[in-house]
Structure 1
């Protein structure tokens, strides 16, 4: 679930607080090319105001027209398809003859929008079960790998962060990274067993874990949607996390520090922890793209830029620094 869809849910809650009627649309199926992925949300208020999107605008215009005619005065969820014919595909802005299906549901007390938002604010990943006959909703923790599922009776949608970021160390850098990563819809976990550091950490929606890093990584069981980044500069902590993370399925493993410190770290991991050369090749260090970053927030941007590229399968080449440039490389100044 991305932040665009989270904003749709917040808009619905705001409309309800103002006594406004609303209908929520969820993309449940697509055929051919479609502008938004399955699970994307759109909401239409009783007066025609809209939040979110499922197309280039034509489907939204049709929904507004329907609701203004009173055609969306629903008492239970219903399915609507757009773009079945070539003419409709052109009208509704669906490229290449694409088709999409929406489940439209009238929002009321049984929809549990406010309860869902409260659980998302706590950093949870939630599965929302919509009864297509009655409109009743139940909420439960989303199981690993849960995706949208729809049949004749039920719509199961998953809400909350699709990606996890585990940060080792609760320092200043972790604060900036946690805040920015939350905006990018990561579930953020921060591990630091040192009370003098962990005691002052506080980022809304980020969860603080005080166990030893190796234990935390093992319990987390990093998968292909998990990134692990070591930020303490303390080998006794960073190395413990890295040795477990490099042996896991994490899509990204990184560590802060200069190139010299990275070389020493690789040597330690190889000689003392038995990490193979193939596993060491997965270690990003210095962490983050090289973009001249110097301050903690700049370095956080560089790190998250590299994570984004990794998620989408891009490789960023080493840049040529300005001839007159001086100062630390990205990821090396702290």
Structure 2
């Protein structure tokens, strides 16, 4: 699955190769209502060509209009839309619900250095580990450094002259076996932009199954797929919600040997304790490996229905991916 970020960077590389200056725009932060999350990309040229988006359309139109008029000539700058009157606001743009959108705008002339840097970014988006793209606001210099597998998408301190943007492979959800909860997880994950793979070898369970559009179905034992080269990266979550130990336990035994950042299996606290003992006894897992497994899975929302359980699971996956404590408040 190729993400929109892939297409943005590929187009930027192509335009640079043809001698065209490009403006690379990155959403740094959003407050209030915004359809694009921090880290989202758009690339544009001065004649109005562009790929990607920053919001629902009004921001892009204004940006392209100002770009065509000769704006944004600095190597790097932060532009705010919907900011307070005493901020660097765009007076013509008011975002829904009083929202605020901060965008990093980089002017990248066609030269070998910018070409090589974006090719590195493209490889990172296709790779198996997270990297941090650092941009100096003073002169627009950009470089890549290693990053922790989980954490906020954008690192930006008040008054700092360097902005960090996490880049890496597209977020992926591996569903180990089908169930109604797995199907609901797939729907949520697709809407969140995840690549979703569901593995289940049980023909009696999956015969005639219709999955949400965008879900890749593999009629294979999940543990075999999870163990295959390249299946799991630090951007991968592995979830088992079948209540069938033959599916769930094997998936957990293999998943803890991978770099997946989230590994979880459904069950009550009593069931989870029994599973942990089984995994120690028959799977040979260490306490450290067992501690990697979220069981019971998901946030404690008091969920009862398959959709509610799936919501709790996906919320927990997003929490871990963003490096948030389970007890963090929204304003923190």
Q: Verify same fold: TM over 0.5.
A: yes
Q: Which TM-score bucket, shorter chain as reference?
A: 0.5 to 0.7
SS at match of 2:242: coil
1:266 equivalent in alignment to 2:250: no
Native 8 Å contact 1:164 1:186 kept in 2: yes
Count of aligned pairs between the two proteins: 250
Aligned equivalents of 1:50, 1:258: Cα separation in 2: 46
Aligned to 2:320: 310
Q: 1:213 aligns with which of 193, 200, 222?
A: 222
Q: Give the deviation of 1:181 after TM superposition.
A: 0.3
CA contact (8 A) 1:58 1:91 kept: no
1:264 Cα offset (Å): 1.1
1:128-166: CA deviation from partner (whole Å, max 9, x where unpaired) = xx989xxxxxxxx934459789xxxxxxxxx99711111
| Partner of residue 184, structure 1 | 192
Q: Could you say which residue in structure 2 is the equivalent of 1:250?
A: 260
Q: Which residues in structure 2 correspond to 1:143-154 (within 5 Å)?
A: 143-145=127-129
Give 1:286's aligned residue. 296
Output the CA distance in 1 between the equivalents of 2:258 and 2:303: 29
| Separation in structure 2 between the aligned mates of residue 27 and residue 272 of structure 1, nearest angstrom | 51
Counterpart in 1 of 2:126? 142
TM-score (norm 2): 0.59
CA distance in 1, matches of 2:305, 2:220: 29
Measured on the aligned residues, the alpha-carbon RMSD in Å equals 4.9
Change in Cα spacing, 1:284 to 1:144, as seen in structure 2 (3 Å) is closer
Q: 1:39 to 1:26 in 2, by over 3 A?
A: farther
**Which of 1 and 2 has greater Rg?**
1
TM-score normalised to structure 1 length: 0.59
| 1:273 aligned counterpart, secondary structure | coil
Gaps of 5+ in 1: 10-22, 73-77, 85-89, 106-129, 133-140, 150-158, 319-334
Superposed displacement of residue 193, structure 1: 0.5
- Flag the structure with more relative contact order, 1 or 2, with Cα contacts below 8 A and sequence separation at least 6: 2
Change (3 A) 1:251 1:143: closer
Distance 1:144 1:303 in 2: 23
Q: Supply the distance in 1 between the matched residues of 2:48 and 2:224 (Cα, whole angstroms).
A: 53
